[in-house]
Amino acid sequence: MTSTDPLARAALAASRFGLGARPTTLQDIASDPRGALVEELTTGWIRRLRGADLVDPAQAAATGVSGSFTDYEGINRAETVAAFNKRVYAPVGFFERLVMFWSNHFNLSVEKASLVRAMRGVIERCVIRGLATGRFDRLLIALLTQPAMLCYLDNQESIGPNSLIGLRRGAGVNVNLAREILELHTLGYGAGYSEGDILQMAYVLSGHSYVRGWEADRNLNGGSDATRGQYIFRSDWHEAGPRRVLGRRYTGREGQLTAVLTDLARHPATAQHLAFKLVQHFLTDAPTPAMVDPIARAYLDSEGDLMQAALALIDLPQAWTLPQTKLRTPYELLVAQARALNRTWHDDDLWLLLQILDALGHRPGYWETPDGYPDDTAHWLSPNGLRVRGDGLQKATQILLARAPLTLPPRRLAARVLGPAQSAETAAAVRSAADPVQALTLLFMAPEFQRR
């Protein structure tokens, strides 16, 4: 389906790499769709997310270890809403898609603990947004020293058995975070690391922790009000000594972790793993080396620059020729719906938005396990899932239309949003629908809108 029609390329860019067209998007980017994607990655106001009701990471961490449910769920909900609204009004949404992609790669589940609930959205905004097109080693190090990540994967009480405290208490390490760093965050399954590497990695991670609420309350172990919930390296918990991970030797104490993560970030298996995941997310469920290797090479040649990886992705010939068989995730679908209608959810209706996302199994922060929401079409394309999409989109359309009248009739809106991708059958169905809710529900359920 390679096309020289600028509007067709714009429609492809907006759906494959963005969050769907708003009524003017296709016209806006038709002269240079690829350029519009690149511009998003380098434009400050497109990348930034600010809001009067959003708190900084230190405050979120303190609330997470010492606040009440109302406080930390308030932080979490404000972040979820701010991110959704930001995505509704993004020019194309390529940068947002990358933020969502890396956020899912480093999944955090708010149901794990109050600290994770308080910090998940704040980390996405303050850490991932800043580094989504930066160097992967920096992103990796920044995320793995987040109190919420240390808590989510049980590292905060991981104590080296031969450390000062380990010997005194007979304590040991927890290998959970070590395993996930190798299996999920960097090298990926099947990359040839051993259980021994995982244990060595756990020793490297021992002592990397955060200040618990009671330590801040009692000024114990370096805790105070100023450091409540903050990252802390507990030297007397760390398993000292040189470590060997994937055949390389690492000395030092606190800096040992940074050294190991930097090397892991530059490992060819990590390059392949991340490239595979990018192709699987944006292009196809069946990536081939012809798609994966150029991205992996661009990544390695730039010392793990995620900007270069993103550019290599959109510069793949397949990026503009493969048929659009991937299904939009439920979250992407609801963002795309609001973009098409050029409006976002009223505060009083947000509960319904969250219920629809819940019903579709895709509320941000609610995937329990560290692998993140699955990215294969088979997970999202199910009989029940598609049925609930129809019900949920119809309800959402009705609610969104009730707050403000349409400025374009549905048939013109469909033409603007889908451009040349709109099929004759969809156009006919939208045109002959009895009312706007039905016309727009048909638009949102149409294959051109569901697939990307």
From the CB of residue 72, how many other CB atoms can be counted at a distance below 10 Å? 24
Closest separation between CB of residue 420 and other proteins, Å? Answer: 14
CB of 31 to other proteins, least distance (A): 29
Which residue matches tokens 């609001």? Answer: 338
Residue 128 and residue 96: Cα distance in Å, rounded? 10
Please give the full DSSP string across 250-312, using - where no structure is assigned: E--SHHHHHHHHHHHHT-HHHHHHHHHHHHHHHT-SS--HHHHHHHHHHHHHTTSBHHHHHHH
Question: In this structure, what token pair is assigned to residue 310?
Answer: 């993103």
Which of 157/236 has CB closer to other proteins?
Answer: 157
Query: Residue 80's CB: how many other CB atoms inside 10 A?
Result: 21
Residues between 248 and 307 that touch other proteins (CB under 8 A): 268-269, 271-273, 275-277, 280, 285, 287-289, 292-293, 296-297, 300
Give the C-alpha distances (Å, rounded to integers) separating 124 from 77, 121, 148.
Answer: 13, 5, 12
Are 147 and 210 in contact, with CB atoms under 8 Å apart?
A: yes
Q: With CB under 8 A, what is the number of residues at the site for other proteins?
A: 71
Q: Residues 134 to 193: which contact other proteins by CB under 8 A?
A: 176, 179-180, 183-184, 188-192
Q: Which stretch binds other proteins (CB under 8 A): 4-12, 41-49, 225-233, 378-386?
A: 378-386
194 sits near other proteins (criterion: CB under 8 A): no
Three-state DSSP class for residue 284:
coil
Least spacing, CB of residue 182 vs other proteins, in Å:
12
Nearer to other proteins among residue 95 and residue 373 (C-beta): 373
Q: How far is the CB of 173 from other proteins (least distance, A)?
A: 13
Min CB(328)–other proteins separation in Å: 12
Hey, which residues between 15 and 74 contact other proteins (CB under 8 A)? none
Which two tokens mark 57?
A: 């990471």
Closest CA to 281 of 418, 128, 98: 98
- In this chain, which of 244, 382, 407, 409 binds other proteins, going by CB under 8 A? 382
Least Å from the CB of residue 380 to other proteins: 11
104 near other proteins (CB under 8 A): no
By the 8 A CB rule, do 309 and 275 touch?
A: yes
Q: Which of 312, 317, 311, 282 is nearest to 452 (CA)?
A: 282
Q: Which is nearer to other proteins, 207 or 392 (CB)?
A: 392
How many CB atoms are located within 10 Å of the residue 392 CB?
Answer: 24
Rg (CA), the chain: 23
Distance CA 195, CA 190 (A): 12
Strand 243-245 relative to strand 208-210, pairing: unpaired
* Contact between 429 and other proteins per CB under 8 A: yes
Q: How far is the CB of 358 from other proteins (least distance, A)?
A: 9
**Site for other proteins, residues 383 to 402, rule: CB under 8 A:** 383-388, 390-392, 394-395
Please, what is the minimum distance in Å from the beta carbon of residue 215 to other proteins?
16
How far apart CA 224 and CA 214 sit, in angstroms, is 9
Interacting residues with other proteins between 205 and 244 (CB under 8 A): none
Residue of 13, 49, 356, 418 that binds other proteins (CB under 8 A):
356
